[in-house]
């Protein structure tokens, strides 16, 4: 199935989504003492298309894999981290401290990927000036000013759908360059703003459709359709 070319910074969205998967896999192999690895082995272990794996790695690797030996794992990990900007920590602000917002604030793994949530905002006065996951929850009336002053580049939206566009507009006014949106609604933004939507309803629908295809056509045909 041909990959649709939704591009982000010169790389397809699908390739970008696979890179953290490769990174986690390579770190595991490195911790096991493996020093080199080939694209066919990666493809086999991750159940991916070998040609696609070669194309993905060619986007990030500074040196090509050598015949028979493949890539030096530690070098490939370093190239991948540089490409993804893991060492250039971007600060983020979260808006909406409900159950999902609290979970994201308490999660300790974002910094590994170059993102640090430094503060949160909420309209509920009972939550303002409290700390969740070590992050201060602030009043909404401080949003634009603090985002500008602290050069916040990422806004995370975890508010109900009816408030998401208003929050988005305020984050853009505060100078954010990218938005991670968990609200089930399409956001209108200027052309220079990147929006990454995490729509759980869409993901669940995709899973449901996949299981339907498995029952109808078998897992292999269904897997090829959804890869």
Q: Which residues are annotated as a binding site for NAD(+)?
A: 96-101
Task: Write down how long the chain is.
Answer: 227
> Tokens in use for 151?
């050069």
**102, 125 Cβ separation under 8 angstroms:** no
- Can you list the alpha helix ranges (DSSP code H) found in the chain? 13-31, 39-46, 50-60, 73-84, 99-106, 143-149, 161-173, 200-217, 219-226
Q: Residue 91: enclosing H or E segment and its boundaries?
A: strand 90-95
What's the CA gap between 67 and 86, in Å, rounded? 29
* Residue/partner pairs of 1-8 with CB below 8 Å, 24 or more apart: 1/224, 1/225, 1/227, 3/52, 8/194
Please count the other Cβ atoms lying within 10 Å of the Cβ belonging to residue 12. 17
Q: Which residues 6+ apart lie within 8 Å of 217 measured at CB? A: none
Q: Which residue numbers belong to the known binding site?
A: 96-101
């Amino acid at each position: 199935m041909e990959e649709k070319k939704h591009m982000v910074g010169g790389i397809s969205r699908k390739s970008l989504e696979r890179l953290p998967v490769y990174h986690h896999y390579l770190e595991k192999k490195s911790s096991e003492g493996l020093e080199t690895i080939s694209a066919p082995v990666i493809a086999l272990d991750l159940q991916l298309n070998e040609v696609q794996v070669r194309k993905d790695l060619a986007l990030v690797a500074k040196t090509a894999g050598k015949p028979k030996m493949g890539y030096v794992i530690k070098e490939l990990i370093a190239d991948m981290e540089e490409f993804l900007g893991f060492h250039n920590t971007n600060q983020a602000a979260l808006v909406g401290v409900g159950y999902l917002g609290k979970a994201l604030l308490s999660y300790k793994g974002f910094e590994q990927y170059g993102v640090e949530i430094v503060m949160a905002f909420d309209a509920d006065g009972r939550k303002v000036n409290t700390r969740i996951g070590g992050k201060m929850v602030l009043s909404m009336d401080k949003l634009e000013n603090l985002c500008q002053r602290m050069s916040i580049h990422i806004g995370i939206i975890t508010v109900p759908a009816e408030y998401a566009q208003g929050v988005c507009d305020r984050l853009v006014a505060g100078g954010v360059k990218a938005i991670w949106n968990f609200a089930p609604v399409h956001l209108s933004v200027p052309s220079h703003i990147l929006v990454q939507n995490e729509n759980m309803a869409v993901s669940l629908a995709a899973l449901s459709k996949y299981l339907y295809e498995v029952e109808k056509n078998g897992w292999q045909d269904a897997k090829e359709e959804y890869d």
